[in-house]
Structure 1
């Protein structure tokens, strides 16, 4: 097995919220386009709830679903029972980890890069992700976007492990 670059892809509000139930409390088309562009062709590792929240299979990407439920299956999904198995199944130089919170936390110490969308609002939500430790992560890129119409301001941020 090759040593892959593991990249976490997530959007987080200023108050740490990344979700509310099975929904994301904002809609940012620019973030969706960036996510598609940056994950295209990469295997994506996700939890079952994240897989279930997708509108369907995302074209051009493999869907590797981490689940403890040995009977769970979904057409087009590859199933992994643990992190090691998920990485073995992915077998790619670049692996996208796309959530949810438990999956991000499980991969955080293995991640090489984080592609973070900072959403500059503080919505209510029951799924949170703490800020990333500055002693471990270095910001290497930032692209700020102003609020417009009904969309909040946001920033695309790249963090690399120091």
Structure 2
């Protein structure tokens, strides 16, 4: 579990998933999409919310997940599985991952981590950091949706990995870190033609 600051009506600068509280936060931009509060560090020690973090990725044998701003591999059944696992949940992703998708995915809340100050598409919560994203997500399950930088920063903080293990080597320029067997145990495996769906949980 990751412990993050919760919203608090007694603290109007709290990072919050609750819209009525967020609207009171003076650090939000005029469009109320910038979800990182200047008081984050102080709040971190004062308010606890339990967040379950899941990483989802389709990974080739050589660790490749992306190529030239897009996925390195696609499979219809795999995309349907990802849709099923993410509907109704909060997705955290980097800006380049969002740009490759092109829009917020229906039925899911999208939080994008970017350093680009003026980037604020409709229907997206924009934050500056990983911690800002997790705090803005609020309580419950949060899904890391890519790309490689976010996977690298969050894999050691995650509770579960949902990995499509592709049985081939792919060309690409975006990678995920290796899965550390000292931290992760295989909990479930479903074999398909040319790939497997694998769930990993922490020891």
- Aligned with 1:100 (options 135, 138, 147): 147
Contact 2:152 2:177 survives alignment (8 Å): no
What are the Cα deviations for residues 14-58 of structure 1, in whole angstroms up to 9, with x where unaligned? 111111111222221111011110011111000000000114221
Q: Is the 8 A contact 2:151 2:177 kept in 1?
A: no
Structure 2 residue matching 1:123: 3-state secondary structure: coil
Does the Cα contact within 8 Å between 1:42 and 1:92 map onto a contact in 2? no
Residue matched to 1:161 = 202
Partner of 1:46: 93
Alignment of 1:57-96 (within 5 A): 57-96=104-143
The residue number in structure 1 matching 2:177 is 130
Runs of 4 or more, structure 1, over 3 Å off, are none
Residue 112 of structure 1 is matched in structure 2 by 159
**What TM-score do you get using the length of structure 2 for normalisation?**
0.74
Point out which structure has higher relative CO (alpha carbons under 8 A, 6+ apart): 1
Cα distance in structure 1, aligned partners of 2:177 and 2:118: 32
Q: Kindly indicate whether the alpha-carbon contact (under 8 Å) linking 2:58 and 2:73 is maintained by their aligned counterparts in 1.
A: no
Count how many residue pairs are aligned between Structure 1 and Structure 2.
156
- Please say if residues 90 and 142 of structure 2, whose CA atoms lie closer than 8 Å, have aligned partners that are also in contact: yes
CA contact (8 A) 1:139 1:157 kept: yes
3-state SS, counterpart of residue 132 of structure 1:
coil
2:192 to 145, 149, 154: 145
Partners of 1:6 and 1:25 in 2: how far apart? Answer: 24
Partners of 2:139 and 2:177 in 1: how far apart?
28
TM-score, structure 1 as length reference: 0.93
Unaligned ranges ≥5, structure 2: 1-5, 7-48
CA RMSD of aligned residues (A): 1.0
Residue 80 of structure 2: which of 33, 36, 41 is its match? 33
Q: Which residue does 1:149 correspond to in 2? A: none
**Alignment gaps of 5+ in structure 1:** 147-152
